[in-house]
Structure 1
Amino acid sequence: MVLHQDCTNRKDKLDILMRRIRVVVFLAGLVAASSLAAEEPLTVSAITAQTTVSTRNISLTGEIVARDTLTLSFLSGGRIASIEVREGDVVAAGDVLARTTSIQQEQALRAARAGVSTATADRDQAREDLRRQDALLERGATTRVARDSAADQSRVKDGVLAQALADLALAEKALEDTVILAPQSATVTARFVEPGQVIGAVQPVIELALGGAVDAVFDVPESLLTSTHAVATVRLAPLDIPQQEFFGTVREVSPLVDPATGTVAVKVQIDEKPAGVEYGDAVRGSTIESTARRIVLPYRAMSVSENGPAVWVIDPETMRVSLHQITVDRYETGIILVAGGLDEGALVVTAGAQLLYPDRLVRIHAETSQ
């Protein structure tokens, strides 16, 4: 019985040992398989980084304006009686553009004219008295004092008449100032007030475009002016008629930055205004700029690290990847332009980057083109 029990125990122990060996072998196989799987190269697409002279199309929207403008206003304040023109009207020299109420000025003019009439009559009477005193003095019928007094009165009346004439001139000028006349042939580009509105002295009322010369004005971001080369020629096209292209040259760049928008006003001279293009029309201005040589990569090549934009670069000898920090010059549709952090000729992963980690073994399925 003892021998039989010992044999049974040995057999059980042997079975347990064999099971443990099988488990160990199985686990070792799993570890080996995992190691082999980890070393299995990941298939990716890559591109060879190459520098090229990049270009970009700069396009902004502006407005057609008159090159020479004149803003008209009333010299004295008052209530607007009428505005005789609208935006876009063509006026000739001497045409009435606007009026203010002139009741006070007309009353002042009538009073001034009456004052001139009275002063003229008084002067004529004083001169007649002086002539009579001269005649009497020659006959000895009056005194020198009386004659000199008449002469003094004549001079006083002359002065009163001169003042009355000056007042009349001022009254006439005040009445004239209630009307704005066109100084020359022009086009109305803006009216700033409406009938019935009370305005102050020299408040803008109407703006005129003098002559036919026009410019296109653009509000250009300051950063764009500092980062681009000087541009001479600009391609223009009305937004309503984009196929009607014409050209202009940069005439003036404002030295001041608009603090509200952060933009700089740039005027583009248009030598020949196309038919159908009017003041105030919206126009698109475009120019192509050649920039410094940059490495151009497809947008899908870009990854990111804790420090910013990065790309995965393949070591051609080991076929393992590493994450390289890059400096992006700018982003364009479908591509990124790299300013630094990447050497020309480097193999950059363009597809499969989301599955990578440092030192990952890869194989290149295909090299993509830019």
Structure 2
Amino acid sequence: MFRYALPVSLAFFLSACGHEEPVQIGVRPAMVVQPEPSARVSDSYPGEVRARYEPELAFRIGGKVSRRLVEEGERVKANQPLAELDPQDVRLQLEATRAQVTAATANLNLVRAERDRYKTLLERQMVSHSQYDNAENLYRAGEARLKQIKAEFDVANNQAGYAVLRAPQDGVVAKRAVEVGQVVAAGQTVFTLATDGEREVLISFPEQNYGRFKVGQPVSVELWTQPGQRFDGRIRELSPAADPKSRTFAARIAFSAGKVPAELGQSARVFIQSADALSLSVPLSALTAEGGATYVWRVDANNTLHKTPVRVGAFGEKTVPVLEGLSASDWVVAAGVHVLHEGLQVRPVDRSNRVVNLAVKE
């Protein structure tokens, strides 16, 4: 009897389960906010304090470096020796030229005496005019030869002095490019000198932002040693070509104030205001990124999500300015954006978990 009762009861139970209504999954709530007006947008770029003038120093003649008298980072005075070349070759050339000057001087004395003798004989009508003219021409040639040799001697003497590289003015050796024993060519950079005087900040712009800036544009500079204090400045120089390695454009920022407590090599940050007077801002938690692009989830009047690309500015502590892609009347999801997808129906709520009627709000 129990053999028949169990299958019947089991069948009745399975039949009851088959007629149970499916569980309805509710619409997911989503906290939404509207973009708020933000303060004037500014981009910031890290930089390094550099000298206004940084001449590259080089020997005016080629040769082998025999002595290096300063180190990188050392302070130097105007006309101070920095390095020397092996002077043997230039000294030999100077001695050879000096010997030529002596020979040319002796030759000039000889032809002068000969000319004077022929002049006396001509007055006595003992030689012809052609013989005297020949003696006169030899004298003039000897005189010109002496002038030429003296000029060559001055050049050789100058080159002997060029074997010593000197600082053109006071400053700091910012970079050293040679070692003792190295053979350098004339004009090859040996040192880079950061001269005393004005200080600037060197920064680099990415390719996509290059067109937004121009020479003379006002900026503000903050030194890492003095956080919170801003110094007025301007873009003094903007490179027309990108660096072949970093693909960025170098720019130099000049301080507007006369005296700024900025030392060589200090870190700084340059703030440049955007051309847009006002922008909208959204919470950082509202942003999502994919494939190098930035998006937010916009909610329409039917409570449906749409993935909307936006262009943002410099990130703040809690918010980020949105430069393009949103209007002030839009509603965006402010949290949990990583689990959303296109076309999802949501129940908009505010930060107090109150339902937001977007059809009315818009």
Shorter chain as normaliser: what TM range? 0.7 to 0.9
Question: Aligned in 2, Cα 1:367/1:354: closer, same or farther, shift over 3 Å?
Answer: farther
Number of aligned residues: 343
- C-alpha contact 1:99 1:179 (8 A) present in aligned 2: yes
Letter in 2 for 1:68: Y
Question: Aligned in 2, Cα 1:154/1:242: closer, same or farther, shift over 3 Å?
Answer: same
Q: State the alpha-carbon separation in 2 of the partners of residues 292 and 149 from structure 1.
A: 92
Q: Percent identity?
A: 23
Q: State the alpha-carbon separation in 1 of the partners of residues 138 and 338 from structure 2.
A: 110
Q: Which residue is 1:89 aligned to?
A: 75
Q: State the alpha-carbon separation in 1 of the partners of residues 173 and 338 from structure 2.
A: 62
Q: Deviations over 1:22-42 (max 9, x none)?
A: 7544543x22xx3xx416x45
Q: State the alpha-carbon separation in 2 of the partners of residues 335 and 229 from structure 1.
A: 28
Question: Aligned in 2, Cα 1:120/1:97: closer, same or farther, shift over 3 Å?
Answer: same
Question: Aligned in 2, Cα 1:162/1:328: closer, same or farther, shift over 3 Å?
Answer: closer
* Larger mean Cα displacement after TM superposition, 162-171 or 287-296: 287-296
Shift of 1:78: 0.7
Q: Deviations over 1:222-257 (max 9, x none)?
A: 223446899944333344554665332222222323
Q: Which residue is 1:324 aligned to?
A: 306
* Larger mean Cα displacement after TM superposition, 328-337 or 166-175: 328-337
Secondary structure of the 2:304 match is: strand
1:33-182 alignment runs, 5 A limit:
34=22, 37-38=23-24, 41=26, 44-53=29-38, 56=41, 58-86=43-71, 87-92=73-78, 94-139=79-124, 142-144=126-128, 147-182=132-167
* Higher-strand-fraction structure: 1
Q: State the alpha-carbon separation in 2 of the partners of residues 66 and 353 from structure 1.
A: 47
Letter in 2 for 1:296: V
Q: Which residue is 1:201 aligned to?
A: 186
Shift of 1:61: 1.7
Question: Aligned in 2, Cα 1:195/1:27: closer, same or farther, shift over 3 Å?
Answer: same
Q: State the alpha-carbon separation in 2 of the partners of residues 133 and 229 from structure 1.
A: 78
Question: Aligned in 2, Cα 1:220/1:229: closer, same or farther, shift over 3 Å?
Answer: same
Structure 2, unpaired ranges of 5+: 355-362
Mark the structure with the bigger radius of gyration.
Answer: 1
Question: Aligned in 2, Cα 1:161/1:322: closer, same or farther, shift over 3 Å?
Answer: closer
- C-alpha contact 1:79 1:101 (8 A) present in aligned 2: yes
Q: Which residue is 1:223 aligned to?
A: 208
Structure 1, unpaired ranges of 5+: 1-7
Q: State the alpha-carbon separation in 2 of the partners of residues 357 and 151 from structure 1.
A: 105
1:275-294 alignment runs, 5 A limit:
275=261, 277-287=262-272, 289=274, 293-294=279-280
Q: State the alpha-carbon separation in 2 of the partners of residues 228 and 368 from structure 1.
A: 44
